[in-house]
Amino acid sequence: MRLTCLNAWGGRMHAELSGWLAQNDPDILCIQEVVHVPGSPAPWLDYRDDGRNLPQRADMLADLATALPTHDITFCPAARGRLWHGEAQVWSQWGLATLTRRGLPVTHQAQGFVHGEFGAQGFGAHPRSRTGHAIRLWRPEGAVVIAHMHGLRDPEQGKADTPARAAQAARLAALVETIRQPGDEVVICGDFNVLPGSETLRTLSRLASRELVTEGDHPGTRNSLYTKPERHADYMMVSAGLSVSHFDVVHEPEVSDHCPLVLTLA
């Protein structure tokens, strides 16, 4: 079974991402920074914040369905905010999604906020609301709970440990515990927005003790499109009893400013 985790950067590299996903064809895709604008007036809209103007793919759920047509999609919106089409404002939903190959037996799932609550009137100030999603997947080898989140962005504190990040990790762990059953293995992944050795990783290691990015001495999970010096943001954590066949941080091709994390279970 192949699991891929990626922060999609708002679909900014839509063509490259769609082509790579179709080729990678994961059984499970955990994807963050997903934009959804039902009935968008254009395929691309602009996100404007802090003097930045970032192109956003307007309906990534439709794009993901085209790239992975044999998968079911669960979208977990964290906020409803404004994007721009020229000078016109367009309401969008923003969050994360889990894609599961159709036919795989998902026996339980849990969705909830790991920080804040649904912001219906705008994205709000940083650190903004964040969701988490967990599924329990039955396998002949034993059930596995797979969870992911997009960790807080904090312009003031960078990627340092904060009380809000500590609470966020505890809430994600609690989400896993709501569906985990005795004997289940666990995978926790996502763009955590923290550095190696963080309190977030220590908290989540109680459920998934191996962190494969740092265990494999990967130099980072950001590529040439990200110009800041800190190279770690994304993590793939697994419980000790899970049989890992292969793990990689994919630097080429570039499909976002984050590198996809690809885990193959035996």
Residue-wise pLDDT for 33-60, tens only, equals: 999 999 999 999 999 987 789 999 999 9
Give CA–CA dist 160/83, Å, rounded: 29
What pTM, to 2 d.p., does this model score? 0.98
Cα-based angle 224, 213, 31 (whole degrees, multiple of 5): 70
Q: Regarding the domain with residue range 2-265, which homologous superfamily does it belong to in the CATH classification?
A: Endonuclease/exonuclease/phosphatase (3.60.10.10)
144-150/44-49 β-pairing? unpaired
pLDDT, position 50 = 76
Instruction: Quick: pLDDT tens for 233-244.
Output: 999 999 999 999
pLDDT, position 142 = 96
For range 11-40, the mean pLDDT:
98
pLDDT, position 166 = 98
Burial (CB count within 10 angstroms: exposed 0-12, middle 13-18, buried 19+), residue 136 = buried
For range 163-180, the mean pLDDT:
98
In the chain, the largest separation of any two C-alpha atoms, in whole Å, equals 55
Give CA–CA dist 16/35, Å, rounded: 17
Q: What percent of the chain has pLDDT over 70?
A: 100
Amino acid identity, position 161 = D
Which tokens in the block code for residue 62? 């439709």
Give CA–CA dist 180/159, Å, rounded: 29
